[in-house]
Amino acid sequence: MPHKVTLALDAMGGDEAPTMVIRGAEHFLKSGKQARFVLFGDENLIKPLLNDTPLLRASCEIVHTTEVIASDDKPSLALRRGKSSSMRLAIDAVKDGKADAVISAGNTGALMAISKVVLRTLDGIGRPAISGVVPNRSHDRLMLDLGANSECSARDLCDFAIMGYAYARTVLGIANPSIGLLNIGIEELKGREEIREAASILKTLPGLNFSGFVEANSIMSGDTDVIVADGFSGNIAIKSMEGTAQFMYKLTKNAIKRSPISILGYLIAKRAFTPVRVKMDQRRYNGGMFLGLNGVVVKSHGSASRVAFAHAIEEAYRVVENRVNERIIQELNRLMPELKAAAQLPKPEALSANKMEESAVIA
Amino acid sequence: MPHKVTLALDAMGGDEAPTMVIRGAEHFLKSGKQARFVLFGDENLIKPLLNDTPLLRASCEIVHTTEVIASDDKPSLALRRGKSSSMRLAIDAVKDGKADAVISAGNTGALMAISKVVLRTLDGIGRPAISGVVPNRSHDRLMLDLGANSECSARDLCDFAIMGYAYARTVLGIANPSIGLLNIGIEELKGREEIREAASILKTLPGLNFSGFVEANSIMSGDTDVIVADGFSGNIAIKSMEGTAQFMYKLTKNAIKRSPISILGYLIAKRAFTPVRVKMDQRRYNGGMFLGLNGVVVKSHGSASRVAFAHAIEEAYRVVENRVNERIIQELNRLMPELKAAAQLPKPEALSANKMEESAVIA
């Protein structure tokens, strides 16, 4: 019998925990996938919910916890004092080999801080990054970092590029994914220094398909498979996109509701909109993986619905099933010597003082 | 007879110059507004176009120029060598009092660099910012900086806040606009240090309605009137929003075109979509003002259509008509003493080493 994937759930994380977590896991199992779950949380709350979730009840165990990390707890405090919390124990289960991955909709900062301390980063990686899938006119693309590190060095950006490359090859199934750096223009002199420096390093790596800078308006319409950003810019970009999509939905919905005639027209045309709805369905993009750790950690939106949480579970499942972390380590081993050599060289296109001045004016 | 507004146009700037510029000015005049135009550019190209634009022909003069700053020219080069270019001479006209404002769809970096050198910044302002209007569920909002400065100090962000406040009061007509700082979370510990420091200064200014941090998904759906960002993040946000809106339009359009039934439904519901189309019409948001200069400079998208360019002209017209720069100077005089006092004080909530560590972990 093949090894069945075991997933640790922080049952107490998220706005509507534990209900949403339990129902999300049931929804995941209904799709036909096989997995075992370990639920970390208050069994007095969880047990009654399992009466309505027969598939989950048949394939889970509960680890009773009473402590919860709140969404506004400070990460350092959560790290020191939350040692018997549902989140911490769920991460510990991955570290101890009792689960293959952990999924939490709880406090992002705490989840990252505890994951870093408990699981440690992969050899050669300084900082983990949060990755997420974004819609695109053809196939889905990967973007990272979405908010783990608000400032990044050129080297951090290069690490993210390698991790993203490995992820896109394995989980998204793209043979030789193109890698771009998010910037405010596509010209070489544009943007912040660390981004220009990362570009000058990445383009010397023969093993990586680096395609230059990407502007934010091309994320969804362009051809770049992996978009690399510092966590601040990545977070701004992903939230701007989410906000715009939601805003346009609401505007359109309100417009249609305004008259019976337009409701009629909408009902007639409705089926045509199905592919649009599917492509832009934010629930489908729920689940950001923390790349760069010795273990699989997936973060769900705190406000995720049952269906969205099931997507986060599926993300973790696919990452485990595709042995993404092993593949990332392979890619790191392949590309790290190149990266280290390139990063230690004097920058191939070091900016002269004159060029620096120009870029300050442009940017 | 009241003074008629005089607008200098860089007729050679933009992807389809001078045609688009000339037709844009004609479109503006057709709305019934009165203005005089000075067209800087190649008269051999401009004169034939005026045959089709009778309103513009009756209210313009041409200043013949042969030199053009290309869209990929380096700003420092444009500054040194472009002294008889259409862009440079149009800016000079503002400096010399021959025009009230200049509008260009040319090279942004060059336009900013030349404007800074020719017009100088307002007293007390270190760096100008590019501002732009963004759609929102209720009234339009202002966002700055959209790309002039890729790195900003806390003090720069405070300057932008004051300029944005004055602009929103005068041009957008909001009595006491609320000011927010774009950040990756609304908690005090989130984001980059300069943003947290700017927040700690802004909240001590009694004359400014500071409302804290704004996440990028709330720009269109939230209540903040003026969103302040460094030019890098602001550019990422605005382009992400533009890209998403365009992407969703295309998806929807393609979906409707797929079958006669859905075309029929669309035609029936079409009128209901008019408010959505109007609100999201990117042409309406064309025209970014360079705030913080001794003179009015408005930048149009390089790929602007005739209608979009007319909006950029209207933006400049409204800024001149509302004496925005005078009002900004008034606000600066009112708020600068407060700002200087606050900025020189030890930070009211200086982060301890411990807090710094927490914030690094979070974000």
In tens, the pLDDT along B64-79 reads 999 999 988 888 889 8
Point out which residues pair with A246 in neighbouring strands.
none
Of B189, B187, B176, B181, residue with least CA distance to B159? B181
CB B162 within 8 A of CB B245: no
B:209-268 residues touching chain A, CB 8 A cutoff: 215-221, 231-233, 235-248, 250-252, 255-256, 258-259, 261-268
Flag the least confident range among A24-28, A174-178, B155-159, B359-363: B359-363
Task: Give residue B126's pLDDT.
Answer: 87
Mutation to test the B interface, candidates A146, A235, A280, most B Cβ within 10 Å: A235
How far is Cα A37 from Cα B53, in angstroms, rounded to an integer? 72
Q: How far apart are CA B300 and CA B175, in angstroms?
A: 27
State the nearest Cα–Cα gap between A240 and chain B, in angstroms: 5
Q: What is the pLDDT of residue A232?
A: 95
Q: Do B221 and A247 touch (CB under 8 A)?
A: yes
Structure tokens belonging to residue A248: 């346009």
Two tokens at B121? 């910044």
User: Are the C-beta atoms of residues B143 and B240 closer than 8 Å to each other?
Assistant: no
Give Cα separations from B175 to A167, A272, B141, B332 (angstroms).
50, 44, 13, 17
pLDDT tens digits for range B258-292: 888 888 888 887 777 777 777 777 777 788 899 99
Mutate to test the interface with B, among A197, A244, A252, A259 (most CBs of B within 10 A): A244
> How many Å separate Cα A294 from the centre of its chain?
16
Q: What is the pLDDT at residue A3?
A: 65
A304 half-sphere exposure, CB direction, 13 A CA radius: 33
Write out chain B residues lying below 8 Å of A248, CB-based. 244-245, 248, 276, 280
Q: Among B220, B262, B275, select the one facing A244 at the smallest CB separation.
A: B220
Q: How many CB atoms lie within 10 A of CB B212?
A: 16
CB within 8 Å of A272: residues ≥ 6 apart: B255, B256, B258, B259, B261, B262, B265
Residue B83 forms contact with A (CB below 8 Å): no
Top residue of A196, A217, A218 to mutate, by most chain B CBs within 10 Å, is: A217
- For B265, the closest of A74, A251, A266 (CB atoms) is A266
List the single best residue of A152, A232, A253, A276 to mutate versus B (max B Cβ within 10 A): A232
Give the closest of B184, B220, B268 to A261, CB-based: B268
Is there a contact between B87 and B299 (Cβ–Cβ < 8 Å)? no
Q: Which of residues 41-70 of A touch B (CB under 8 A)?
A: none
pLDDT per position in chain A (363 positions), as tens? 456 899 999 999 999 999 999 999 999 999 999 999 999 999 999 999 999 999 999 999 999 999 999 988 888 889 888 899 999 999 999 999 999 999 999 999 899 999 999 999 998 898 999 999 998 888 889 999 999 898 999 999 999 999 999 999 888 889 999 999 999 987 777 788 999 999 999 999 888 999 999 999 999 999 999 999 999 999 999 999 999 998 988 888 888 888 888 888 888 877 777 777 777 777 777 888 999 999 999 999 888 899 999 999 999 999 999 898 898 888 888 888 887 777 665 444 444 444 433 333 333
B260 against B98, higher pLDDT: B98
Determine how many CB atoms are found less than 10 A away from the CB of residue B15.
11
Looking at residue B271, its pLDDT comes to 79
Which DSSP string do the residues of B190-245 spell out, in sequence order?
Answer: -S-HHHHHHHHHHTT-TTSEEEEEE-GGGTTTS--SEEE--HHHHHHHHHHHHHHH
B87 phi and psi angles, rounded to 5 deg: -65, -50
Looking at the complex, does the CB of residue A76 fall below 8 Å from at least one CB of chain B? Answer: yes
Cβ-defined contact of B272 to A256 (cutoff 8 Å)? yes
Contact status of B109 with chain A (Cβ, < 8 Å): yes
Q: Does A180 touch chain B (CB under 8 A)?
A: no
- In the sheet with B36-41, reading across from the earlier edge strand, the strands are B60-64, B36-41, B6-10, B101-104, B296-299, B288-291, B129-134, B141-144, B226-228, B178-182, B209-214
Question: Which has the closest alpha carbon to A21: A316, A320, A312?
Answer: A312
ipTM score assigned to the predicted complex: 0.87
**Which residues in chain B (288-347) have CB-CB distances under 8 A to chain A?**
none
A246 half-sphere exposure, CB direction, 13 A CA radius: 17
